Amino acid sequence: MKRTLSILLALLAAGAVTSAREVTKAALGETKYEVRYTQGILNTKVADATISLENDQLDGKAVLHARASIRAISIFRLFMNAEYLADAYLTPRSHEPVYYINPIKKGGREGKFECTYDKASGTITTLVVRPPAAPEQQTLSLDGRTMDLLSLLVYIRFADIPDGSSRAMHLLMGGKSVAATLTCEGGDTERFPGIGAKRFHVKMKDRGLMENGSGNEITVWCSSGSDCRILGLETVLGSSGTMSVSVRE
């Protein structure tokens, strides 16, 4: 399930965290998705997913609260966690990340991946807890180009990224900072006909989303309408097939 969540949440972007698109009422709420796995003639649904965005409060301050959850279906519960969850909190206007928490449950033990962003000191503190191993903590520079995956989801929805432009960034995954490049490839009328969509291409360096190193190139489709929602994602898992996520109407 951790692998599937990483795919779902790898909606990557880079550059400054300022937003040129307003978070309208239409952009708030929950969107439901279907997660499918394809290999050869096999094309099967493996999970249901949701991504939501709401106005909220954190430590007495107004924030945007993004949440992503994945629930495996049927027999696939034997191969992945039954449910996976992640929460990100961002400033409501500039969409700068404030806090991220991803609980981890494995082998009956509870852990977490946590990011705390401190604008005053210009640092990001990441904490990985995976019992029985000792907690791993590190401090990184808060440069506006390093974010957790769910905060990047909010960024790509609302940032104004010109067609054809590429930007460098770093992704925080499991306590590691991974270099990546995002390219906005422009409008796409084929993948989601009848819906205004933009296509983005993400290429990660040094590693991919999967433990076997695959999934280092991801295609993301985002609505160009007032809802700014993510319409779908797709990543090739080497010789193991393709994982895709599509909005469920």
* Whether the Cβ atoms of residue 181 and residue 15 lie closer than 8 Å to each other: no
Beta strands 109-118 and 123-129, pairing class: antiparallel
Give me the percent of the chain exceeding a pLDDT of 70: 85
Least reliable range by pLDDT among 33-42, 75-84, 229-238: 75-84
Bridge partner list, 210: none
Report d(CA 65, CA 53) in Å as an integer. 6
Tokens of 29: 């709420």
- 41 with 209: CB under 8 angstroms? no
Long-range contacts of 161-166 (CB under 8 A, 24+ apart): 161/13, 161/15, 161/200, 163/187, 163/198
Question: In this model, does residue 220 exceed pLDDT 80?
Answer: yes
pTM value > 0.75: yes
Among 114-128, 143-157, 217-231, the range scoring the smallest mean pLDDT is 143-157
Distances (CA, A) of 37 to 42, 83, 197: 8, 17, 23
Q: Count CA atoms within 13 Å of residue 227 on its CB side.
A: 15
Is a pLDDT exceeding 80 seen at residue 243? yes
Cα 151 from chain centroid (whole Å):
7
Q: Whole-angstrom Cα distance, residue 221 to residue 235?
A: 12
How far, CA to CA in Å, does 203 sit from each of 167, 186, 210, 219, 229? 11, 16, 13, 9, 21
Mean pLDDT over 208-231 rounds to 83
**204-209: long-range pairs with CB below 8 Å, 24+:** 204/171, 204/178, 204/179, 204/180, 205/178, 205/179, 205/180, 205/181, 206/178, 206/179, 207/178, 209/3, 209/6, 209/7, 209/10, 209/173, 209/235
> End-to-end alpha-carbon separation of the chain, Å?
23
Per-residue model confidence (pLDDT) at position 83: 67
Look up residue 14 and give its two tokens: 């880079």
Residue the block writes with tokens 């779908």: 232
The 3-state DSSP class for residue 158 equals: helix
What mean pLDDT comes out for the span 52-67? 96
What pLDDT is recorded for position 7? 46
Q: Which residues contact 101 (CB under 8 A, 6 or more apart)?
A: 86, 87, 112, 113, 114
Q: What's the average model confidence in pLDDT over 144-149?
A: 84
